[in-house]
Structures are given as structure tokens and as C-alpha cells.
Amino acid sequence: MNFVMSADGSATLDGRSGSLGNRTDRELMHALRAMADVIVIGAGTVRVEGYGGVGVDAEAVAWRRERTLAEQPRLAVVSRALRLAPGDSVFTAAEVPPVVVTCAEAPASRREALADVAEVVVCGEHTVDLAAMLATFADRGWTQVLCEGGPHLFGSLLDAGLVDEVCLTLAPRFAGGDAGRIVQDASERDRRFSLVHALTDDEGFVFLRYAAG
């Protein structure tokens, strides 16, 4: 997982998580994307954050080629209801066609409409089976999975025991308001993570990496 939050725990500012970050945070996000086989995003986050293409730059492409990775990471959008349109920028601006991960109960008409701009993968009957999704990725050799949210997807992955690492940017801002936390809808439980790295920059941002266990 890769997330940013304010010092008082807000996951967004003015409705968007991107408003909380800075240049260093964006550089770290691009570094994580450069190492990923697939970048996973919930459909709600795609809509709110205005996701377009998530391709990496030429330097990262060269780095990936040296390590026999695909030139660009794949983008996977997780959506049960498929409230997405073929004309959305997440499809039209994509470097390579995204994968849309959904469930069997998703509206057939929406699945058919998105099939022209994305690869639609069904995992689960009534809801998206996240373990099955990761197994499908692994079958394709996509073992380095980067998830950029949102909070509901983070909560579902936590409840399923599928989060092994969290990269968290702590912004030196106190947002107030009623914005939610970076984890939503997860059951309350003591999930222990260990701090692996802690870095700071000259603007007072703190970059934390946690590992499960």
C-alpha cells in the first residue's frame, strides 16, 4: 500500500489525497510505480483523484528493461459495480490497456462496454475476491503489486490479511474537517506492523515504511 495522510489523520484535503503530498512524496510514488508489475486502484479513487495514465518515464523504462520487466506497469482498477465509462481518462490516457477486476454479478452491459478499452477479469461471484485477484496476478508473473487505495480497498485488503507492506507519507499539516482515515470499513483488530524505514525531507514530511508481522 502507498498512502499519504495529514498529521491529524486526514486522508484527504479538499476532497483529494493528492492535495496532501509534495514533490518528494510524488517522487517516491513514481519510484514505487517503477518497481511494480501492477498498480491496483479502487474505482472510487480513480473517479475522485482523476486518474489518467500512470506510465513511468524513460529513465524508469530503461531501469525496468535491465531487469527484464515489462516497459510499463499494468494498471488494475477494482470495481464491483463498474461505474466507469470507456471515455474516462484512466482508459484513454493509459500507456497500455488497463485491467478491470470485477465480480460475476457486475452488470453485463458495463462489462461489455469496458471490454473495448480494458481487459475485464472476473474474480468472485457477489463481490470482488481480492485473494483470487492476487492469485490471478501471480499466475501472470505480477508478484510486485502496488496498491494506491482508496481507503475502502485498503480496509478490505487488511481484513483479508493481504497487506504485507505499507508506505505512508505523513504530511506536516493539520487538516481538520471531517475527512476519513486511510483505512475504511475494516473490522477493529490489532494488526501489528514493524517500522522498516523512516525518512524526512527539508519540508518536514516524514516517509514511513511498515512491514506486516
Distance CA 58, CA 13 (A): 31
Task: Give 132's pLDDT tier (boundaries 50, 70, 90).
Answer: very high
Q: Which of 142-145's residues contact partners 24+ apart within 8 Å by CB, and which partners?
A: 142/37, 142/38, 142/74, 143/37, 144/35, 144/36, 144/37, 144/38, 145/36, 145/37, 145/38, 145/40
Entry pTM: 0.95
Mean pLDDT to the nearest integer, 200-208: 97
The CATH T-level fold of domain 41-143 is: Dihydrofolate Reductase, subunit A (3.40.430)
Provide the 8-state DSSP code for 97: P
CB 147 within 8 A of CB 153: yes
Domain 1-36+145-213: assigned CATH number: 3.40.430.10
According to CATH, where is 3.40.430.10 located in the chain? 1-36+145-213, 41-143
What's residue 53's pLDDT? 78
- Label residue 165 by pLDDT band (50, 70, 90): very high
Q: What is the pLDDT of residue 55?
A: 87
- Is residue 29 within 8 A of residue 54, CB to CB? The reply is no
Contact 9, 174 (CB under 8 A): no
* Residues 38-52, mean pLDDT to the nearest whole number: 92
C-alpha cell at 197: 524505514
